[in-house]
């Protein structure tokens, strides 16, 4: 049978309350009694029951991480790691959870599983719509956003400055002499909740700033009705659309590194050299970007996780956040998939 606090109390010759105090290190306990208790606990291999503690104290000592997209994705796994590294030392458990479609989200929030069993909720990479916002606002625990487009949402948030990042990307390509720049979107079902879809809108806006009209800043995407079996097929289809444009771009911004790499491969298969004939920049700087030697906009999901967790801790401890909503600057990583536009070399 697992020992309880009562067993320790008996062995140490003190009351249960004293054991509780000694073990948690709060409240004042005489060094000698503390020692007795600690010894007794050690001897019995005793550990406090989190469930009982939580029930008694009203604190769950758990925070939920809700990601859009699976936990094994580069971004999410790194956010998790960052959160873990600051929350675990503080005594908090992490309850990871994920959602993919809008329907998932609705089901999730309708049943509010766990909510009520966690002290805070960190949500990552969501495209928060009004319905979700409404649900989220119902809950009385702190909600911290990571990479949430509508940065104004929730009690706190951390993201990267996507607009600034996009400006850097477009500016780079412009200064390399590219006058027609395409934006290639990921293929994703209509009801996805990923926040990366925001990037296409931002591109449109930034392209305008840089004097590119719609014809010189085409957006290449797949209709949601199309169905493809492989990433390769998707990339091939995208490339065929790019090649079909009357005003063919000489540079491409691609929504994610993974897509960018697939597109580059498809491009090369058609004899379009990268970067000689076409410059390509990706987004994220995941591991694969380094391997593929891809110019990209760096995101640091681990750092975001760390910051989000720190904000969470502050919120939980009731400290006022000086800057609840923060944006990390974007950084462009120059590698070998971008080059001066043809004729300018």
Partner DNA sequence: TTGTATGCGTTATCAA
Partner DNA sequence: TTGATAACGCATACAA
CB of 178 to a second copy, least distance (A): 25
The tokens describing 181, both together, are 């720049």
CB of 156 to a second copy, least distance (A): 22
What does each C-alpha distance from 292 to 100, 260, 272, 281 come to in angstroms? 28, 10, 17, 12
The tokens describing 328, both together, are 């990390």
Q: In what order do the strands lie in the sheet with 181-184?
A: 219-220, 181-184, 251-254, 279-284, 295-298, 331-333
Pairing of β 331-333 and β 295-298: antiparallel
Q: Give dist(CA 249, CA 255) in Å, integer.
A: 16
Closest by CA to 120, choosing from 66, 175, 201, is 66
Residue 113 interacting entry, from a second copy, DNA, none, C-beta within 5 to 8 Å by type: a second copy
- Measure CA 207 to chain center: 26
Binding region for DNA (CB under 7 A): 2, 4-6, 13-18, 20-21, 23-24, 26-30, 32-34, 46-49, 52-53, 55-58
Q: Which is nearer to DNA, 21 or 168 (CB)?
A: 21
Q: Which is nearer to a second copy, 180 or 296 (CB)?
A: 296
Q: Which is nearer to DNA, 3 or 177 (CB)?
A: 3
Residue 72 interacting entry, from DNA, a second copy, none, C-beta within 5 to 8 Å by type: a second copy
Binding region for a second copy (CB under 8 A): 2, 45, 47, 49-52, 54-55, 60, 70-74, 77-78, 80-81, 84, 88, 93-98, 111-117, 138, 261, 287-288, 291-292, 302
Q: Is 114:64 a contact under the CB 8 Å cutoff?
A: yes
CB of 285 to a second copy, least distance (A): 13
At residue 199's C-alpha, the angle toward residues 201 and 148, to 5°, is 110
Q: Which is nearer to DNA, 33 or 231 (CB)?
A: 33
Q: Which is nearer to a second copy, 129 or 287 (CB)?
A: 287
* Burial status of residue 151 (CB atoms within 10 A of its CB: 0-12, 13-18, 19 or more): middle
Residue 167 interacting entry, from DNA, a second copy, none, C-beta within 5 to 8 Å by type: none
Q: Which is nearer to DNA, 41 or 274 (CB)?
A: 41
Residue 228 interacting entry, from a second copy, DNA, none, C-beta within 5 to 8 Å by type: none
């Amino acid at each position: 049978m697992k020992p309880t606090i009562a067993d320790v109390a008996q062995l140490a010759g003190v009351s249960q309350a004293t054991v509780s105090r000694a073990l948690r290190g709060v409240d004042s306990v005489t060094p000698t009694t503390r020692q007795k208790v600690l010894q007794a606990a050690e001897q019995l291999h005793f550990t406090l029951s989190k469930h009982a503690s939580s029930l008694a104290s009203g604190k769950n000592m758990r925070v939920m991480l809700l990601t859009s997209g699976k936990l094994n994705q580069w971004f999410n796994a790194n956010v998790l790691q960052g959160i873990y590294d600051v929350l675990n030392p503080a005594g908090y458990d992490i309850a990871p959870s994920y959602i993919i479609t809008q329907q998932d989200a609705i089901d999730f929030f309708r049943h509010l599983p766990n909510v009520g069993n966690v002290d805070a909720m960190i949500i990552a990479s969501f495209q928060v719509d009004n319905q979700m916002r409404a649900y989220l606002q119902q809950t009385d625990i702190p909600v911290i956003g990571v990479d949430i487009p509508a940065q104004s949402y929730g009690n706190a948030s951390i993201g990267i400055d996507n607009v600034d990042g996009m400006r850097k990307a477009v500016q780079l390509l412009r200064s390399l002499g590219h006058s027609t720049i395409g934006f290639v979107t990921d293929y994703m079902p209509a009801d996805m909740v990923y926040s990366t879809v925001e990037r296409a809108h931002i591109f449109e806006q930034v392209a305008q700033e840089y004097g590119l009209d719609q014809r010189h800043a085409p957006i290449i995407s797949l209709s949601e009705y199309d169905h493809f079996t492989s990433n390769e097929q998707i990339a091939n289809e995208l490339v065929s659309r790019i090649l079909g444009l009357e005003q063919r771009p000489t540079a491409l911004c691609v929504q994610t590194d993974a897509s960018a790499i697939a597109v580059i491969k498809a491009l090369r298969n058609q004899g379009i050299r990268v970067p000689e004939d076409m410059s390509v920049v990706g987004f994220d700087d995941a591991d694969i970007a380094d391997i593929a030697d891809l110019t990209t906009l760096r995101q640091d999901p681990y750092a975001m996780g760390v910051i989000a967790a720190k904000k969470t801790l502050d919120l939980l401890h009731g400290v006022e956040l000086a800057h609840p909503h923060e944006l990390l600057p974007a950084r462009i990583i120059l590698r070998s998939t971008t080059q001066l536009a043809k004729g300018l070399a």
